[in-house]
Amino acid sequence: MPQLRGLYLSGAGTNTKILQFQLRSLIRDLESDHTATFHFTERVVDSGPGPKVEDFFKGPYYSYYNWPRPSEDDGITVEEAYDQHLDLIETEGPFDAVIGFSHGGTLACGLLAQWSTRHPYEAPPFKCAIILNRFSTFVISRNGDFISEKNLKGRITVPTLHVVGRKDFIYEHSLKLHQICEDKNATLIQNDRGHEIPKEPKFVAKIAAAIRRLSREIMFQ
């Protein structure tokens, strides 16, 4: 079976090395049988450290965009972050999957939802999405208005895998995303952790197995 080529997007106030460390167990599992290859990209917005990040990891720390929207010329808006990643897909893709944690998951979902809003008759930039513990999604209409999340039902059309922690402070946001994705294509895995990527072997194996099923599904469409 062809390898799944994934673009990995990390949380706010971290960096690529931190994400690689956080995902090390899952990467090891998926690389053991050549299920997936991994592409990491660093961000450009300087940021303070994310929740509890500074306790364990040294900086520098980055994010994909400034929020609230920047009033200065050197800020990066969420729309600009979407455009930057579409350019990345053009130059370094294609990618079969996007895998996003927290802020990265928000970016991934927003990019997919905004794409279907603006390009309803074109194939999405990814064939599937794996989202771990993400915040609310930001989608901007053609006239520059934000589209509320309750109006995004059906706009993320690719198969999705949602990994959420019951003790996460954004647990409800993660569940809402699962609810707005297409029911038949959305898989939910819950764990008893907080705002983190599960490292326990049983959960890593469960997530890896779900990604393998997702890979088989999209590769043989």
Query: Distances in Å between the alpha carbon of 52 and those of 11, 138, 188?
Result: 12, 24, 26
200, amino acid identity: E
End-to-end CA distance of the chain: 13
Structure tokens at 168: 């996460």
Q: Quick one: CA dihedral 85, 87, 89, 92, positive or negative?
A: negative
**Residue from 25, 63, 102, 174 carrying the catalytic annotation:** 102
The stretches of the chain forming alpha helices (DSSP H) are 16-22, 24-32, 78-92, 103-118, 171-180, 201-219
d(CA 94, CA 5): 8
C-alpha atoms less than 13 angstroms from C-alpha of 211 in its C-beta half-sphere: 29
Locate 33 and state its tokens.
Answer: 């049988």
Per the annotation, the verdict on 136 as an active-site residue is no
CA angle 202, 58, 195 (to 5 degrees): 35
Burial class (CB in 10 A: 0-12, 13-18, 19+), 106: buried
Lookup: tokens for 138: 């930001």
Q: List active site positions.
A: 102
